[in-house]
Amino acid sequence: MTRDEFLTQFEKHLLVGEPKRSELIAEITHHLTDDPTSQTSDPVALAKKLNRTHLGIFSSWSRLVWLALIMAALFETAYLILIYGETRTKTVWPFAFATVIGFIISYLPIVAMIIAGHAISSMHHRWRLTGKWVLLISALLIAFELSQYFSGQSLFIPERSALVQSFMLIGESFAIVIMITLFVVWLSIGHRTFIPRYRILDLIITFAILAVGTDIALVTVTDILTGFLRNTSTTNVQLWVVGHQWTAALFGGVLGTLIEAYRLRWQSRHFQNAQ
């Protein structure tokens, strides 16, 4: 293999984006100049190893596709469990369990978008990949919603014609997915030193746990309070909580995540100063 052939193959399979990309290419080019025998090694394997090092577990398009498929499968499973519990059983499912399932249904795709957005932010051709990823996950969500709707296994009651509702579903899914993913990609570019990459998963888990916890705790506490003290005021509080459940869960998740991010940043700075 000639030097140019080696570099062409290497650059083709290197998914790391700028500014790191230029550095990596320069390093390998200099190495090949100093040691021409290195041209016999595998440029594709080298590119993949560097992708894995710099991009983490989602270091290729195929892994992002697997993420989308697994999230869609979990989403569908959780949704089918919820539908079964609501429509097929004679007894009402425990409220907390149904709330957790409902939460999983709502937030799994968002978690997938955050993880993928962050992985894509440091890749080459990041905007092209964002577009592909958004189309893929939108298509999966739309296919899922349409199949539920047309098979009559949906919890949603149609108020408009099926065709109009289908187009609205497509537009809505695409808009939500693209907004969330673009936001995460934008937030992650150039800000990688704010929170170390390996801590991003910690923050995502923090968000999920605190949002679920806030949701369950808020509803459970108000249920308990209204159970002991039932009057107009407590009933109004309960109605308010039920009406703002998702908002409160999001607020709890975001607030907790910000506190955790500050704590991680403080720890990181404290460690660097100690060095």
- Binding interface with other proteins (CB under 8 A): 23-24, 26-28, 30-32, 34-35, 38, 41-42, 45-46, 49-50, 52-54, 275
Shortest distance (Å) from residue 263 CB to other proteins: 19
- Residue position matching structure tokens 């595998």: 42
CB of 94 vs other proteins, minimal distance in Å: 45
Task: Enumerate the β-bridge partners of residue 164.
Answer: none
Nearest to 12 by CA among 44, 40, 52: 44
When the beta carbons of 59 and 257 are compared against other proteins, the nearer one is 59
Nearer to other proteins, 32 or 219 (CB): 32
Of 30 and 125, CB closest to other proteins: 30
Contact 7, 29 (CB under 8 A): yes
Which residue, 28 or 140, is less far from other proteins as judged by CB? 28
Name which of 103, 115, 35, 116 is nearest 248 in CA terms.
103
Residue 43, amino acid: P
How far apart, in whole angstroms, are the C-alpha atoms of residue 144 and residue 173?
Answer: 11
Which is closer to other proteins, CB of 77 or CB of 268? 268
44 φ/ψ angles, rounded to the nearest 5 degrees? -70, -45
Least distance to other proteins, CB of residue 9, Å = 13
Based on CB atoms, which residue is closest to other proteins, 87 or 275? Answer: 275
Report the nearest approach of other proteins to the CB of residue 20 (Å). 9
Nearest to 245 by CA among 96, 83, 40: 96
| Nearest approach, Cβ of residue 35 and other proteins (Å) | 6
Q: How far is the CB of 113 from other proteins (least distance, A)?
A: 25
The conformational region for residue 92 under phi > 0 = left, psi -120 to 50 = alpha, else beta, is beta
Helix runs in 36-94, H state only: 43-55, 61-87
